[in-house]
Structure 1
Amino acid sequence: MAFSLLVKNARTRFSGGKLLSIGIEGEKIAAVGENLPEGGAAQVIDAEGRLVTESFVNGHLHLCKVYTLEMVGQDALSSYHGGSMGGAMTAIEQASRVKDNYDEKWIIENVRKACRLAQKYGNTHIRAFADTDTKAKLEGVKALIKAREEFRDIVDLQVVAFPQDGVVRDPGAEDYIRKALELGADVVGGIPWIEYTDADMQEHIDRMFALAKEFNRDVSMLIDDAGDPGLRSLEMLAVKTLKEGWQGRVTAQHCRAMAMYREPYFRKILALLQKASIGLVSDPQTGPLHARVRDLYDSGVAVALGQDDIADAYYPFGRNNMLEVAFLAVHLLWMTTFSDMEIIYDLITTNAAKAMGIRGHVLEPGGNADLVVLNAGDVYHAIWEHEAPFRVIRKGKDVTLQ
């Protein structure tokens, strides 16, 4: 058996300490086992006992805003990071100043920088949000679509047309979402909780679903991102998903108000999420509240972690390094045992792929040949050290940034 690429002397998360070989043919994993024939392989990578896993998946990144913190100032950080997150809406209004000068020409340079970091850190799939509204117009979307094509062999960018300032409260934003979909945006975004009334929140969701159905697109919405247990847009989203038959095609981001839910209401929401097959992406490092990640995972919800921001008005750090995000999440979620860390690792690999609707992201014969050879022998040390991988494999090719 000849392979286009063979990774030998590899540990996997489930190999019981044995060293295996991973044979790749084209863009797929052809075989996994001990002592696969090396002869005839076009390229051989010796993992030398390092851990080899599925590559990393970033379920949430505002890619059009990366590296804009110094352009917009720091007042939004104070508003967004207040202990109860009561100023989250104010922070969004403050952060929107960056869009006064939005231009594809400078946005694309920032996006390229972030995509090169994704390559360095083995982050091969990103759900990338682009503000698409009456301020940003289509400048961010155009930059992200351009980057999607430039980096298509290195990172899969799912471009989300995102009405950051609302739909009802920003008349005209819906038209820009439509134009973005016509340009080729992959996912319909939304942020219903930012509307002023429950009726407007429902209208926001209804309008975005209408576009999703018309263009046959998945849906990804920022939900209840404030310290208000009275917010109900997650429930609205789940009910709408069931009504429209969009199960498995919807992802909710943040859902921070969940941290304040009373237990009976949380259990109701959990049942709706399960029934609607909604994925949920949490970003605990970018705000003082977060969704109940462990409870969601234990209940079978496709929960994931996201980078969310890189040096923008909401978060001053970030390297598109999902092992770094995992390291922070271990502390913030108090998931510090070795078994907890295995779960955290799922949230940046296999579980994250499920949340984003990525099929075949699993290290087994027939799976996608999107892999990382880590500079560690196990998950514990990989998260602890959160170094760039030794090798990054995308679509069956070694794309390690030299």
Structure 2
Amino acid sequence: MQIINARLRQRPELFSIHIDQGQFSKIDIQQDTLAASEETIDAAGNLVCAPFVEPHIHLDAALTAGEPEWNQSGTLFEGIERWSQRKPMLNEADIRRRALSTIELLVQNGVQAIRTHADTTDPTLIGVRTLCALRDELKDKIDLQVVAFPQDGMLSYPNGVKLMEEALEIGADVVGGIPHFEYTRELGEKSVKLIIELAKKYDRLIDVHCDEIDDPNSRFLEFLACEALFHDMGSKVTASHTTAMHSYDNAYCSKLFRLLKNSGINFISCPTESIHLQGRFDTYPKRRGVTRVKELRAADINVCLGQDSIFDPWYSLGNGKLLRTLDFAMHICQMMGYQDYARALDMITDNSAKTLCLKGYGIEVGNPANFILLEGHDDYSVLRKQGEVLLSVRHGNIIMERALSRVLTPSWVAQITA
């Protein structure tokens, strides 16, 4: 396979990209625009980009909004209550059907790697079992990581630690946690220590729902970062949400960021979900409730973006488009300068791949030939136009193709602009 007339990120030239036996074999600068042939894919000046990565979603809960009841208050905690009502209805066929539909939607929108959370506060662990089985079935088609996630708390749920260990023995890739939802601060801190112990025991990554609350006194992030630093595990540790940081004062954050930088931990923000769920107890002024994405980027701390939910008890919208999530983040976090746009796609590509510890990611000779073709010639034009994903290729094989949309200009407009 050969792709011609392609743009690459941060490069002004046109490129010709050669693929042999499922790997990038040669990447050449073109001197002139080449003519297409049957043996080539003509990128037509559009952007060839590493695949999108969805670092935070709940496939076991996807497509369940309103079953059996809707989240009327729009709060995180009512969402957890509604999910508790839905859990007894779970079975393998139900989870497989919804998860596969959601994965298909993500693939159609350029995603080739997914980290999904699976609830361990369910004595059957059906979500963990089903998603681990799907991961193994789909391994040639998509990278899927499964997080053992104690939705109702590891220490505040009966046999929560035992269920977590069982989930890891089943094969979950990542140890999850939710310290701010444990009954007490002491239990929250103890849960973080247990997460570290389990990750070391089973050689797994860590992804913690951390301080997903408006309370400025919720400060498990500093505890998690400190444990990661002292155990030299920062690159394997992720703090998801951290929405309480939006309510921290600047004096505390100036101290906190030093620890965060030294720890080397990763961050995931889910801006569409956070701005929906947080600030629900405010009148006015009303907090955005999204973590300090702009400040984390400025401090050179790895931060990426996820969708979190697609039509579930916490968020009843969602369409699988990470570009929509990125657009929301740029607005909400006031990252609207050209310097912000120039590397915007990092937060749904390279930064996410780093968070998931993906190997061989990126458009480089010798790497697996995994890429997408985006409508636009650079990060800014793709973001501004919300460009379509025109093509998705994995190991040199086309897994999704979409025709470039064309809009006919009315004749009266043509006359005016002639």
**After the TM superposition, which residues 3-402 of structure 1 pair with which residues of structure 2 at under 5 Å, given as runs?**
5-16=1-12, 18-35=13-30, 44-75=40-71, 78-80=73-75, 88-134=76-122, 137-288=124-275, 289-400=289-400
Distance in 1 of aligned mates of 2:304 and 2:328 = 14
Note closer, same or farther for the CA distance 1:273–1:24 as it changes in structure 2 (3 Å cut).
farther
- 5+ residue gaps, structure 1, are 81-87
Q: Is the 8 A contact 2:155 2:191 kept in 1?
A: yes
What TM-score do the two structures reach when normalised by structure 1?
0.90
Q: Is the 8 A contact 1:134 1:172 kept in 2?
A: no
Partner of 1:300: helix, strand, or coil?
coil
1:192-240 Cα shifts (integer Å, max 9, x gaps): 1101221101111122222211110010010000100100111111111
What TM-score do the two structures reach when normalised by structure 2?
0.87
Distance in 2 of aligned mates of 1:51 and 1:294 = 25
Distance in 1 of aligned mates of 2:40 and 2:337 = 35
Once the 2 structures are TM-superposed, how far is the Cα of residue 27 of structure 1 from its aligned partner? Answer: 4.1
Once the 2 structures are TM-superposed, how far is the Cα of residue 186 of structure 1 from its aligned partner? Answer: 0.8
Partner of 1:59: helix, strand, or coil?
strand
Q: Which amino acid aligns with 2:337?
A: T
Distance in 2 of aligned mates of 1:134 and 1:107 = 14
Identity of aligned residues (%): 33
Q: Is the 8 A contact 2:229 2:264 kept in 1?
A: no
Q: Which amino acid aligns with 1:128?
A: T
1:361-393 Cα shifts (integer Å, max 9, x gaps): 222323442211112233233223435411101
Q: Which amino acid aligns with 1:78?
A: S
Q: Which has the larger radius of gyration?
A: 2
Once the 2 structures are TM-superposed, how far is the Cα of residue 291 of structure 1 from its aligned partner? Answer: 0.8
Q: Is the 8 A contact 1:89 1:194 kept in 2?
A: no
Q: Is the 8 A contact 2:241 2:274 kept in 1?
A: no
Bigger Cα displacement from structure 2, 329-338 vs 121-130: 329-338
Partner of 1:301: helix, strand, or coil?
coil
Note closer, same or farther for the CA distance 1:237–1:381 as it changes in structure 2 (3 Å cut).
same
| Structure 1 consecutive aligned stretches of length 4 or more whose deviation exceeds 4 Å | none
* Total equivalences in the alignment: 385
Partner of 1:98: helix, strand, or coil?
helix
**What RMSD in Å do the two structures reach over aligned CA positions?**
2.1
- 5+ residue gaps, structure 2, are 276-288, 403-418
Bigger Cα displacement from structure 2, 254-263 vs 359-368: 359-368
Partner of 1:99: helix, strand, or coil?
helix
Q: Which amino acid aligns with 2:247?
A: M
Note closer, same or farther for the CA distance 1:315–1:274 as it changes in structure 2 (3 Å cut).
same
Q: Is the 8 A contact 2:4 2:42 kept in 1?
A: yes
Bigger Cα displacement from structure 2, 20-29 vs 239-248: 20-29
Once the 2 structures are TM-superposed, how far is the Cα of residue 44 of structure 1 from its aligned partner? Answer: 2.9
Note closer, same or farther for the CA distance 1:73–1:383 as it changes in structure 2 (3 Å cut).
farther
Bigger Cα displacement from structure 2, 59-68 vs 271-280: 271-280
Distance in 2 of aligned mates of 1:212 and 1:200 = 18
Distance in 1 of aligned mates of 2:220 and 2:19 = 44
- Report what 2:283 is aligned to: none
Distance in 2 of aligned mates of 1:377 and 1:282 = 26
Q: Which amino acid aligns with 1:13?
A: R
Once the 2 structures are TM-superposed, how far is the Cα of residue 121 of structure 1 from its aligned partner? Answer: 0.8
